């Protein structure tokens, strides 16, 4: 796949799945815009063939997201974003009966509202440029539920409805919108799970292993490149949700 001359913004690309997706697009020739809440380390930027631009804002802050994206589009010579990958996300796990309402709200606010906050200003520009691909990171948990994750599962199920609706709105304007639902992927997010939980989860994965971030990246490039696919959710989960 060749993404030469295409500009790709990946939110939450300082590490983990987002960084793997950004690197895969970079290897395919794209111009990258990296983003995170914190400053992206120079050693991360040095791993790219073409030095990426960076954005830094909290996606749950709608005003900050809009201001940062507006400033990006005002840069001289900026030609627009061809592919947006909404990847940034968090977990704050707890059984529902013990979950603090603030932890329910903050996970939904970052994962779901944050996806909207970043997408809306870019979607408006994509409408004007009459093309674009948007890929949203959901999760198998949004499809199948998971104990201790009512907040996260609600946010990730919401992303699937968001994806389908935006796909219908964008189609006539040449914009495709799809989601990826990863299963258990090796990253900082899953490293915090106790070993016994990880062993228990493994029993339910037909391919008998956690996935690699690069395997989620493969799906992102596939969806960005597939001109006749929109409104879909692609599971990348080793068969966990079969
Ligand atoms: P990580 O925790 O490794 O990385 C999260 C990224 O999101 C970081 O770049 C982080 O930035 C950024 N981020 C978090 N909160 C915010 C915020 N409020 N504003 C801006 N940026 C933010 O996550 P993963 O790589 O594991 O997951 C990436 C995506 O994939 C998430 O949406 C997750 O829900 C989804 N997913 C992951 C699975 C897994 O097994 N790992 C399974 C299914 C889905 P910073 O470095 O500044 O904190």
Give pLDDT, residue 191: 86
Output the residue whose Cα is nearest ligand 1's atom 35.
137
- pLDDT tens digits for range 36-72: 999 999 999 999 999 999 999 999 999 999 999 999 9
Encoding tokens for residue 241? 């949700």
- pLDDT tens digits for range 4-19: 999 999 999 999 999 9
Cα–Cα distance for residue pair 47/51, rounded to 1 Å: 8
Encoding tokens for residue 190? 């899953």
Cα–Cα distance for residue pair 191/90, rounded to 1 Å: 13
Output the residue whose Cα is nearest ligand 1's atom 46.
14
Give pLDDT, residue 16: 95
Q: What DSSP string describes 31-80? A: EEEEEESSPPPHHHHTTSSSPPEEEE--TT-HHHHHHHHHHHHHSTT---
Mean pLDDT, to the nearest integer, of 125-133? 98
Q: How far is the CA of 38 from the centre of ligand 1 (A)?
A: 12
Give pLDDT, residue 190: 85
pLDDT at 197 over 90: no
- pLDDT tens digits for range 160-193: 999 999 999 999 999 999 999 999 999 888 888 8
Mean pLDDT, to the nearest integer, of 81-99? 98
Alpha-helical segments (H) within the chain: 16-27, 42-45, 62-74, 101-108, 114-129, 140-144, 150-170, 188-191, 195-202, 213-225
Q: How far is the CA of 172 from the centre of ligand 1 (A)?
A: 31
Q: Ligand 1 pocket by C-beta < 6 Å: which residues?
A: 12-18, 36-38, 58-60, 87-90, 110, 114, 137, 139, 182, 184-185, 187-190
Give pLDDT, residue 95: 97
Encoding tokens for residue 53? 């631009």
pTM: 0.98
> Nearest 5°: phi and psi at 135?
-125, 125
Cα–Cα distance for residue pair 235/183, rounded to 1 Å: 7
Cα–Cα distance for residue pair 186/174, rounded to 1 Å: 34
Mean pLDDT, to the nearest integer, of 119-124? 98
Q: Scanning the structure block, which residue is given the tokens 């940062």?
A: 68
**Among 213, 119, 103, which residue's Cα sits nearest to residue 170?**
119
Atom of ligand 1 at shortest distance to CA of 56?
20
User: Is the separation of the CB atoms in 181 and 242 below 8 Å?
Assistant: no
Local structure of residue 226 (DSSP, 8 states): -
Mean pLDDT, to the nearest integer, of 86-104? 98
Output the residue whose Cα is nearest ligand 1's atom 39.
185
Give pLDDT, residue 148: 95
Give pLDDT, residue 188: 86
Please state, for a pLDDT cut of 90, what percent of the chain lies above it. 93
Give pLDDT, residue 194: 87
Give pLDDT, residue 122: 98
Cross-strand bridge partners of residue 185? 211
**Among 34, 26, 28, which residue's Cα sits nearest to residue 50?**
26
């Amino acid at each position: 796949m060749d993404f030469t001359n295409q500009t790709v913004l990946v939110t939450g690309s300082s590490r983990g799945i987002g960084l793997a997706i950004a690197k895969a697009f970079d290897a395919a020739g794209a111009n990258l815009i990296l983003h995170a809440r914190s400053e992206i380390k120079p050693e991360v930027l040095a791993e790219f063939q073409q030095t990426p631009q960076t954005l830094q804002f909290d996606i749950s802050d709608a005003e900050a997201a809009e201001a940062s994206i507006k400033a990006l589009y005002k840069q001289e010579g900026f030609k627009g974003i061809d592919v947006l990958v909404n990847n940034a996300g968090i977990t704050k796990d707890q059984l529902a009966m013990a979950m603090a309402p603030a932890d329910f709200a903050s996970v939904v606010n970052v994962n779901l509202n944050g996806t909207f906050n970043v997408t809306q200003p870019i979607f408006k520009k994509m409408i004007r440029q009459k093309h674009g691909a948007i890929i949203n990171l959901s999760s198998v948990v949004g499809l199948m539920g998971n104990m201790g994750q009512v907040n996260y599962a609600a946010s990730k199920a919401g992303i699937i409805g968001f994806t389908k609706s935006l796909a219908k709105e964008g189609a006539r304007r040449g914009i495709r919108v799809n989601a990826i639902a990863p299963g258990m992927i090796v990253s900082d997010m899953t490293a915090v799970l106790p070993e016994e939980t990880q062993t228990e989860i493994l029993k339910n994965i037909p391919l008998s292993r956690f996935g690699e971030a690069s395997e989620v990246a493969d799906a992102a490039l596939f969806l960005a490149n597939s001109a006749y696919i929109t409104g879909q959710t692609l599971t990348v989960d080793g068969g966990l949700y079969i």
